[in-house]
Amino acid sequence: MSYVQNTAEQQAAMLASIGVDCIEALFAPIPSELRLKRLLDIPAAMSEIELTRHMTALASRNRNASDSVCFLGGGAYDHFIPAVVDAICSRSEYYTAYTPYQAEASQGSLQAFFEFQTLICQLTGMEVANASLYEGGTSVTEAVLMAAGVTGRHGRVIVAESVHPDYRSTLKTYLANLEPKVTEVPTPEGFANPDDIRKVLDDQTSCVVLQHPNFFGCLEEVEEVAKLCHAVGALLVVSFDPISLGILKKPGDYGADIAVAEGQGLGNPLNYGGPYLGLLACREAYVRKIPGRVVGQTTDRLGRRTYALTLQTREQHIRREKATSNICTNQGLMALKAAVHLTALGPSGLRETAHLCLNKAHYAVAQIETMTDMRRRFNRPFFKEFTLQSSVPVHSLLEHARDDGYLAGLALARWYEGLEDCFSVTVTEKRTRSEIDGLARSLQSAVRHGVRAVMA
């Protein structure tokens, strides 16, 4: 409805209806000394034209992936979104459809989720996927809670420090007042050394959590860690990059038990940080412990193919003590976008996209190392993200690049002690040779400027 202030006549009618003479009478219970006895210190009212101009000016102060060249990452990526994604998902029957609670009334949505689950299973090499979760951080947490339910162990959860810091923070918040205790494995070399994991693994460990590729962009020793986990009856939870699976081995093929991800890079724009998309897939043996909802295919009484919510494991649907999660819904529209994106790419398109990311990221490293004194902080294989070490203060460096029109990367000092001189750079398939060369020149200029400033 339109936003129109109440007229004096309307105010009088409402006051009469509730039996008071004036608006001030509504505040009578509040002691006089606690009331503000002046006007609020806010700007004067603006006309619509003035307000539109003011808001536009404020918005223009933001730098985004549309008006700058974006090399940001850390779980939110500037991937190309084919036009077909929005062309399909903006149709009213998809865009306005609510997540189904009465399955028989929502066959179209249920089929879309079933197709989404199928695609995620094909992508991960797992046997079962749910109809999506909120985003990457809660997906990790839900997987950890699920692992405790599968193993019956509520003692220890081992998490590599190379897992996204925000994911680890989310997990700690969830577990703060629960039994499982989080043990973090340091990753000074940019990956979780299997020997360090072996030292803390025991028969009370429910799972080990890795990210592959990890927050620094490095690849983990996932196959060896999977063997270590299974030797003591623990599960391996892996947070993966969906695009990376165009060339990297699938989680189901290297021994992961639960695979989770932030699915934003599949058809969903950066969009100020959300809404995003959580992915979760697992072995079929664990399906009754899976969080959220699973859509299944069946037939009706006439033998026609139909779809149903096969599992709904939140406490509103089943007995509370049997609930595996209290996640209220799934990210229906975001999941649909991911499904359309994956379908549009197909296996060969996903492979080509992954190769473009890989090749351009390695080209970027070569250019930056050639033109500056920067070097990769970790000598590990990487996919599309890498961590650079700088002789120039990182915040000044990134600010210089931003002024040149480049969102050059993420300063790691925000999350990690000892990496104050490091920042991560992400190169997706959207970046061109000229943009990468431009970033290298901007960083070269920043380094030279920093050297002159120190000498001065």
Would you call 144 exposed, middle or buried from its count of C-beta atoms within 10 A (0-12, 13-18, 19+)?
A: buried
**Cβ proximity of 328 and 131 under 8 Å:** no
| Residue 33 parent element (H or E) | none
Look-up: residue for tokens 């940001």?
A: 72
- The count of C-alpha atoms lying within 13 angstroms of the C-alpha of 385, restricted to the half-sphere facing its C-beta, is 28
Residues 6+ apart with CB under 8 A from 311: 287, 288, 290, 293, 294, 296
pTM: 0.88
List of long-range contacts for 409-414, beta carbons under 8 Å, 24+ apart: 409/71, 409/72, 409/73, 410/72, 410/73, 410/74, 412/387
Query: How high is the pLDDT of residue 384?
Result: 98
pLDDT tens per residue, range 75-86: 999 999 999 999
Q: How far apart are CA 269 and CA 265, in angstroms?
A: 7
pLDDT tens per residue, range 194-245: 999 999 999 999 999 999 999 999 999 999 999 999 999 999 999 999 999 9
**Cβ proximity of 312 and 293 under 8 Å:** yes
Q: Go through the domains of the chain in sequence order and give each one's CATH number.
A: 69-78+346-455 (3.90.1150.10), 83-342 (3.40.640.10)
Q: Which of the residues in the chain have pLDDT under 50?
A: 1, 451-456
Q: How far apart are CA 429 and CA 15, in angstroms?
A: 62
Query: How high is the pLDDT of residue 454?
Result: 44
Query: How high is the pLDDT of residue 261?
Result: 98
Tokens of 389: 């070490």
